[in-house]
Amino acid sequence: MYRLLRNLLFNLEAEQAHYFSMNLLSTACSIRPVRKIIGNCFTPAGPGLARTAFGLHFKNPVGLGAGFDKNACYLRELETLGFGFVEIGTVTPLPQEGNEKPRLFRLPEDKALINRMGFNNDGVKVIRKRLEEWKTNTTPHSARAAGLGAPPESGGEFGKQGVIRGKMIIGGNIGKNKVTPNEDAWKDYEICFNELFDVVDYFVVNVSSPNTPGLRALQDKDSLLKILGNLQENNKKRPHPKPILLKIAPDLTDGQLQDIADLAAEIQLDGIVSSNTTISREKLSEASKDQSEAIGMGGLSGQPLKTASDDILEKISRLTAGKVPVIASGGVFTGKDAADKFNRGAVLVQVWTGFIYEGPGIVKKICKEIKA
């Protein structure tokens, strides 16, 4: 069924198809009986799926990576599809348009995407307001107060007992505005951290996107220490600190990975997201290489990224001696792909490109396969 829908959607320009399909899902989910049917179809259930990481309880280990719901517009819809957690953003202090369109491209032969979005988002204040509304409408406390509540492991909003689900875990992926010079980048991250602190469950510091000029230069140890050290100092002054994670690129050298491992220990980093998109085109088929040359710059994601992201995951897990929990992304399409990540040290996985190619059943499919 989804293959037919995907063929129709792939006739649209990629970014247009994204908003068309998500707005269609949003319309469907606005009708409670329809939302219940969708939830029952796609929400994974059963024992053994819950995970605890960074002090947070995840109802299942499959999340949606940053960049899909940049502006926190589709949280209800994504929860209905069964995601254990969703990372919104990347969020910047000021709204920005991002790069010129078209900026999202499919490579169907390799089940891959190239994007050069450029941190397009509505800005931290608007996104904070949306997240406040989400928390107000979906907190477990409100559900229990109405006599409808149940613990998160009970099967979800539309589980067997028809109860309202506990709040889905939300990560806040934060970055800097394009116009902010690198020497002042730490200020942008602090602004986003302060604004989003009360409305997200954990933070991800994004310095690894290839689509903001100069951003990856912030992955050197001194720059990271300035950004992460400042955030951690801010964090520790609060009554209930939030987990802070760092998102890394799959193109880092062994020396850079060692620096990150050392830094993680020095500032007590709560976790790592491994990995972002790659600037490499090495693993593409010849047909896709020709397409990518015509497309030009951008970060590559999907199946061709899997080997490189697996390697980086294994290295960073070894360098941190497994003491720093890792969320793994890059080429996750099936339960086997997820198991490969877990075997290399990941505690959770994220999908993005796999969601585009496999469709709305991907979470349930992966959860079923990893339980088998």
Known catalytic residues are: 209
Cα separation, 52 vs 56, whole angstroms: 5
The 3-state DSSP class for residue 265 equals: helix
State residue 127 phi and psi, 5-degree precision. Answer: -70, -35
Residue 306's closest CA among 325, 286, 282, 288? 282
Cα separation, 223 vs 194, whole angstroms: 20
Query: Distance of CA 354 to CAs 101, 303, 329, 357, 360, Å?
Result: 23, 8, 10, 5, 10
Question: Contact 188/226 with Cβ under 8 angstroms?
Answer: no
The 3-state DSSP class for residue 166 equals: coil
Query: Distance of CA 215 to CAs 93, 113, 186, 249, 279, Å?
Result: 15, 21, 12, 11, 13
